[in-house]
Structure 1
Amino acid sequence: MSVTTQEKTAAPQRSAAMIASIADPGVRTTKAPFGEALVKAGQADDRIVGLSADLAKYTDLHVFRDAFPERFFQMGMAEQSLMMAAAGMAEVGLVPFASTYSVFATRRAYDFICLDMAEPGLNVNIVAALPGLTTGYGPSHQATEDIAILRGMPGLTIIDPCDAVDLEQAVPQLAATPGTTYTRLLRGAVPRILDDYDYTFELGKAKVVRPGDDAVFVSSGLMTMRGLLAAEQLSKLGIEVSVVHCPTIKPFDEETVVAAVSTARPAFTLENHTVVGGLFESVAAALVRRGIGKQVSAIGLPDEFLAAGALPTLHERYGLSVDSIVRRVREQLHRNQ
């Protein structure tokens, strides 16, 4: 088993950086935290198996494959077969982790996830790489709408981890929890930022990881990292922002989120997903159900097919960069004066 390492990572500058680490300058990273965590879980539970749609190297499942070759199954470029095989394994008592890219898991295999996993309540854990705008290879690989596709599916848990800390702590909980799960995987050199805060991943729970009286971010996935980095920059300008991390999108922790948002502070949602059908609409629905009239500003991807290109350029263009977030908050506070 390989040893997890931590290193300083600078933002890639090459124009060819179509798939690159999403870590900002100065942020520590851990290599393949999902793969390492799955090996550790597999050592404790021999029911855990791994399945890949010919993408083990690109979903970090190769770490598990190398540690447990007899418990790894290469299904080829056939996501529907991947899901059916995983469901069958769960039916006989195994605990499958099935990995592919997010676009293929959601767009190609929805019906198989719904009727063969979620409806019978099988413990299958789908781990899907390149969620949202984490690749520059254009709409064919950018899963900007995967949460929107899956949120309406009964019996499905959706996880959007921030960093390596989330992934390491989530894997054993996913393996031990009945029912089907979908995790938006961060792969390769994954940021490690939640270690710096009083945070522990708890399935189904949102956490206030940073206090602040001037504004509040409700965020998920890599945008929690960006939100925390933006909050640190804003703090130097005398603006204190609270950050509420929502690693579980479904079931959604409405109580924690509504308590944080229903104050006089300007509120923002931050998500690496289209503003249609994801975190923003989850927050808005929670407020409406309680009769709370509160404006929430959405920082997320637009309702359109995105461009191809280098990730740092695309993140700036579509408003996911730290600098973009800082500008949005300052503009909103200026308008409120």
Structure 2
Amino acid sequence: MSEIKKIATRESYGNALVELGETYSDLIVLDADLAAATKTGIFKKAYPARHIDCGIAECNMMGVAAGLSITGKVPFASTFAMFAAGRAYEQVRNSIGYPHLNVKIAATHAGISVGEDGATHQCNEDIGLMRSIPGMVVINPVDDIETKAAIKAAYHYNGPVYIRLGRLVTPIINNSKSYHFTLGKGVLLREGNDLTVISTGLCVAPALAAAKELAEKKNIQVRVINIHTIKPLDEELVLKAAAETGKIITVEEHSVIGGLGSAVSDLLSEKLPTQVLKIGIQDCFGESGPAVDLLHKYGLDQEGIYKAIIGNL
């Protein structure tokens, strides 16, 4: 059996920018002195005249991106999630969100999978911060194929978009020939009627693996949904799953406060009250350590998801 190919979504981002840059000359990439880490350096090498290094000045970078968008350019502003959503929140809110400008914010190194950089750099609050901004689209792609499609969709969408990307390599679960990305539409990955697992980003692959293990060992049929666009949420898909399976478990590499679990719970509490278990970072900070070990400790790997499902049937 061949090994599953893995690639970090931040690298997919860099490659997607180059592909788009070949066709669209209005695409401009900004970075805050992290081009090697965010992989915008790939674009810089191909199109140096359209790459702007704003230095370690993330707040200023958001203002520059806002100004470029007013001139008709389509700027992608890139830095770590901790700096894009955290340090520059005010500028994103007031300079990009409030005037609803056509700026794309690509935030890499999100979540605890940043690993050894530790709690100060492990942004587990960014989805909550960004989805609270009126009109902001929030995307958290699962793999290389979905990331490239998401970057393309973000470019063609007229308005502010926040794209969450990771440092850790992740398995490719989608088929490049058949995959279709639509903003605001989730993807049903596995059928099942015993309960539904709704996941996003890095946690989708282990959720799928846990569902397969449950089917093989316990004959428990778990429906698995990938929500790549957290805002706007695919309400139709979530409500259908809740109605047909009765129980929902959300899994995300983010705080259980404000993220995917909160978005799903907000919807269901209003339109179809349903039991929801939220798996994620449980109102705590992360810590320094290897990314894989941290995901295991916080219950976000296949074993942790499997145990959580068994414990909540």
**What TM-score range do you get, normalising by the shorter chain?**
over 0.9
Q: Distance in 2 between matches of 1:192 and 1:96?
A: 27
Spell out, residue by residue over 1:140-178, the C-alpha distance to the aligned partner (whole angstroms, 9 max, x if none): 100011111122111111101111111111111111111
Return the offset for 1:302. 1.1
Q: 1:324 aligns with which of 299, 304, 312?
A: 304
Return the offset for 1:185. 1.1
Pairing 1:230-241 to 2, within 5 Å after superposition: 230-237=210-217, 238-241=219-222
User: Which residue is 1:58 aligned to?
Assistant: 37
Question: Given the superposition, is the C-alpha separation of residues 172 and 198 from structure 1 closer, same or farther in structure 2, using an over 3 Å criterion?
Answer: closer
Please say if 1:141 is aligned against 2:118: no
Return the offset for 1:118. 1.5
Read off the aligned partner of 1:64 and give its amino acid letter.
F
Q: Distance in 2 between matches of 1:69 and 1:153?
A: 32
User: Which residue is 2:12 aligned to?
Assistant: 33
Q: Distance in 2 between matches of 1:187 and 1:310?
A: 12
Please say if residues 102 and 160 of structure 2, whose CA atoms lie closer than 8 Å, have aligned partners that are also in contact: yes
Spell out, residue by residue over 1:28-62, the C-alpha distance to the aligned partner (whole angstroms, 9 max, x if none): 12462111111111111000011100111111111
Q: Distance in 1 between matches of 2:233 and 2:62?
A: 25
Q: Distance in 2 between matches of 1:84 and 1:52?
A: 12
Read off the aligned partner of 1:216 and give its amino acid letter.
T
Please say if residues 119 and 154 of structure 1, whose CA atoms lie closer than 8 Å, have aligned partners that are also in contact: yes
Unaligned runs of 5+ in 2: none
2:207 match: secondary structure: helix
Read off the aligned partner of 1:79 and give its amino acid letter.
E
Please say if residues 197 and 210 of structure 1, whose CA atoms lie closer than 8 Å, have aligned partners that are also in contact: no
Read off the aligned partner of 1:123 and give its amino acid letter.
N
Read off the aligned partner of 2:289 and give its amino acid letter.
G
Pairing 1:197-212 to 2, within 5 Å after superposition: 199-212=179-192
1:162 match: secondary structure: coil
User: Which residue is 2:227 aligned to?
Assistant: 246
Please say if 1:96 is aligned against 2:82: no
> What do you get for the CA RMSD once the two structures are aligned?
1.7
Return the offset for 1:117. 1.1
Return the offset for 1:67. 0.5
TM-score (norm 2): 0.94
Return the offset for 1:119. 1.6
Return the offset for 1:187. 4.4
Q: 1:159 aligns with which of 139, 144, 149?
A: 139
Unaligned runs of 5+ in 1: 1-7, 9-25
Q: Distance in 2 between matches of 1:181 and 1:126?
A: 6
Read off the aligned partner of 2:74 and give its amino acid letter.
V
Return the offset for 1:331. 2.2
Return the offset for 1:138. 1.8
The worse-fitting range, judged by mean Cα deviation, of 129-138 and 270-279 is 129-138
Pairing 1:1-337 to 2, within 5 Å after superposition: 26-30=3-7, 32-136=11-115, 137-187=117-167, 189-195=169-175, 199-237=179-217, 238-290=219-271, 292-333=272-313
Flag the structure with higher helix content: 2
Read off the aligned partner of 1:257 and give its amino acid letter.
V
The worse-fitting range, judged by mean Cα deviation, of 235-244 and 91-100 is 235-244
1:296 match: secondary structure: strand
1:249 match: secondary structure: strand
Return the offset for 1:196. 8.5
Question: Given the superposition, is the C-alpha separation of residues 88 and 196 from structure 1 closer, same or farther in structure 2, using an over 3 Å criterion?
Answer: closer
Return structure 1 stretches of 4+ with deviation > 3 angstroms: 187-190, 196-199
The worse-fitting range, judged by mean Cα deviation, of 314-323 and 132-141 is 132-141
